[in-house]
Amino acid sequence: MHANTPAPLPDSGLLAAEPPYPTDDARWQALRTRDARADEHFVFAVRTTGTYARPSRAARLPRRANVEFFATAEQAEAAGYRASAHALAGREALAQRHLEAVRNACMTLEQADRAIPLAELAAGAGMSTFHFHRLFKSQTGLTPKAYAQACRASRLRRDLPQADRVTDAIYDAGFGTSSRFYDAAPGLLGMPPKQFREGGAQASIRFAVGQCRLGAILVAQSARGLCAIWLGDDADALVRELQDTFPRAELRGGEPGFERLVAEVVGFVEQRALGLNLPLDIRGTAFQERVWRALRDIPPGQTLSYSEVAARVGTPRGARAVALACAANTLAVAIPCHRVVRQNGDVSGYRWGVARKQALLAGEADGVTGKPCGKAATDR
């Protein structure tokens, strides 16, 4: 094994571990002592008042025979209880603490150069591993392990071209084993890892650049399908970015047959009603691909919030993870991440510039399609 191999991040199997306060007797004792640590783990409900609260918020100790316990406030409400005045007072503060804890954990995972054990993340949040794991998944739609793996894949794509050895890059990105990575590599990189590290050596990528009403556009196609639709202000800068991404690939520009394909893509960008019936070389994690499929189901002229997209892919509190998936999209307009906006409708966070996102949305809302901008220029 590699000398710097990090310990793998504990997976969701930790959910099988016994949670804190596992019995009603343990919960009753916590209630009797107003144990604030228990607030993160259960609520108690009083049959005679029809209300529930956190253990530390009990105004006075009820009779044991009148008390029942629930793991969450939602379960208590489903059983017909309502929040007590004390519970309402503490709910907003608790929700804010949870949000901050998950946000800090996400930042830690995004910036880490090693595998962060679940216990370490939970300790940083001041929670048990059981409760932190459940909270993190409810807020992001992903387990800490899955979120960490997505971050590692992003770092690997960034660092692999400069690595001396593929194995070094795999372990330095935080992957605990190479076998699982190699199984997933085609979907993450679009080609074998060694070929990706060598700048796409022996890979053939056709490309062309042109102009449309959004500025410069670069279209690239691998053997699997369209792998890049990039927008920018400078066509030469887009080509340099492609060369930097795949310095050893055979970049083939100026092919007459490919110009027709690029014209089709430009026409699609200008007039989405035309549709785009071309194969896409989609490279991402399983979660990213779920998000991208959901984005392609949003009709032109409509938008969804990050939270609404998260709900559609089965992770109602995964808005942050959806935003990261949108940022990782390399196929502008074909995967319409421009149709995702903030909860209040504000437009922000577009890989190719907020002004272009606003222009795309305005054109779709007004039914303005524009005209294709003619033949793509490829002699670069």
- What's 260's DSSP letter? H
Q: What is the per-residue pLDDT for 65? A: 94
Q: What is the per-residue pLDDT for 370? A: 38
pLDDT (tens digit, 0 to 9) for every residue of the chain, 380 residues total?
Answer: 444 433 333 343 333 344 578 899 999 999 999 888 888 789 999 999 999 988 887 778 999 999 999 988 889 988 999 888 766 656 666 777 787 888 889 888 887 777 788 999 998 888 888 888 888 887 776 788 878 877 777 666 666 655 555 565 555 555 555 555 555 555 555 555 555 544 444 568 889 988 888 999 999 988 778 888 999 999 999 999 888 877 767 788 877 778 788 888 888 888 766 667 778 887 777 788 889 989 988 988 899 999 999 888 877 778 888 998 899 898 999 999 999 999 888 888 898 999 999 999 988 887 644 333 333 333 33
Partners of residue 280 on adjacent β-strands? 226
3-state secondary structure of 363: helix
Confidence (pTM): 0.52
Task: Fill in the amino acid letter for 148.
Answer: A
* Cβ atoms of residues 278 and 264 within 8 Å: yes
Rg (CA), the chain: 25
Q: What is the per-residue pLDDT for 129? A: 87
Q: What is the per-residue pLDDT for 5? A: 37
Q: What percent of the chain has pLDDT over 70?
A: 74
Q: What is the per-residue pLDDT for 134? A: 84
Residue 61 buriedness (CB in 10 A; 0-12 / 13-18 / 19+)? exposed
- Reference 379, options 269, 235, 266; nearest CA is 235
Any idea which residue has 């014209």 for tokens? 263
The residues annotated with a catalytic role in the active site are 337
Element (H, E) at 208: strand 204-212
Q: What is the per-residue pLDDT for 233? A: 93
What DSSP letter does each residue of 69-121 carry, written as one string?
Answer: EESSHHHHHHTT-EE-HHHHHHHHHHHHHHHHHHHHHHHHHHH-SSPPPHHHH
- What is the overall mean pLDDT for the chain? 77
Q: What's the pLDDT tens digit per position in 130-176? A: 888 888 887 776 788 878 877 777 666 666 655 555 565 555 555 55
Any idea which residue has 């907020």 for tokens? 354
Task: Fill in the amino acid letter for 201.
Answer: A
Using CA atoms, how far apart are residues 368 and 213, in angstroms rounded to an integer?
Answer: 12
In terms of C-beta distances under 8 Å and separation of at least 24 residues, what long-range contacts does 301-306 make, across chains too? 301/364, 301/365, 301/367, 302/339, 303/339, 303/340, 303/341, 303/345, 303/361, 304/339, 304/340, 304/341, 305/340, 305/341, 305/342, 305/343, 306/340, 306/341, 306/342, 306/343
Q: What's the pLDDT tens digit per position in 338-378? A: 999 998 888 888 989 999 999 999 888 876 443 333 333 33
Please tell me the number of Cα atoms within 13 Å of 103 on its side-chain side: 7
3-state secondary structure of 299: coil
Angle at 151 between CA 216 and CA 311, to 5 degrees: 80
Q: What is the per-residue pLDDT for 170? A: 56
Q: Where do the domains of the chain lie, and which CATH numbers do they carry?
A: 204-274 (3.30.160.70), 286-366 (1.10.10.10)
Using CA atoms, how far apart are residues 13 and 20, in angstroms rounded to an integer?
Answer: 16
Using CA atoms, how far apart are residues 156 and 200, in angstroms rounded to an integer?
Answer: 15
